[in-house]
Amino acid sequence: MKKYAITIFSSVLIGFFADAQSNIGFGVKGGLNLTFFNVAEADFGSFTEVETSYYGGLFADFGLDEDFSIQTELLYIGLNDFKFINTPIYIKYEVVDNLYLLVGPSLNYFFDFYSNKFKVRADLSTLYNITSFFDIHLKYTLGFEEFAPNGLFLGVGYKF
């Protein structure tokens, strides 16, 4: 049921902005993902384990005005035994020429969990356009639940 809700929500959001805007950009992105797990270490407190993985996917950028846009992404993340889909929905603001700040919720669907496969996280990202087609980006994802790990993403994007 949740999978269908995510699909419908994403389709409606994309359809709404595609109909309302003519300033739409599409592209691909991918890169390195560092995921931080908090693990209890006996009675000595918590220890953070870091796992390195990859991500890749598609994005759509819907221009609202000169400085603001809405950017949605559909990313596949492979993290050792865990594979999941990450769908952030960002409000994107141009801070200075070619440097952007992106903030928004991140909807996640974990394929390998037996229960509670759907998780919501928060994303904070920055993006720099090297050219009008090529960018580099860095984002931090904050998990709200016990097993919704935090992640640091570093990657590149190419706009069609």
Q: When comparing pLDDT for 113 and 134, which is higher? A: 134
Q: Is the pLDDT of residue 19 over 60?
A: no
- Answer CATH for 2-159 from 2.40.160.20, 2.60.15.10, 3.30.450.20, 3.40.190.10: 2.40.160.20
This prediction's pTM = 0.76
Mean pLDDT for 48-68 is 90
Q: Any idea which residue has 């919704």 for tokens?
A: 148
CB 135 within 8 A of CB 156: yes
Delimit the domains of the chain by residue range. 2-159
- 106/88 Cα distance (integer angstroms): 4
- Residue 58: per-residue pLDDT: 97
- Of 67-71, 79-83, 98-102, 118-122, the range with the lowest mean pLDDT is 79-83
pLDDT of amino acid 45 = 47
> Pairing relation of β-strands 82-96 and 68-79?
antiparallel
Q: State what percent of residues in the chain have pLDDT above 70.
A: 72
Residue 86 in contact with residue 112, Cβ under 8 Å? no
* Ramachandran angles phi, psi of 5, nearest 5°: -65, -40
Instruction: State the Cα angle at 102 between 97 and 104, rounded to 5°.
Output: 160
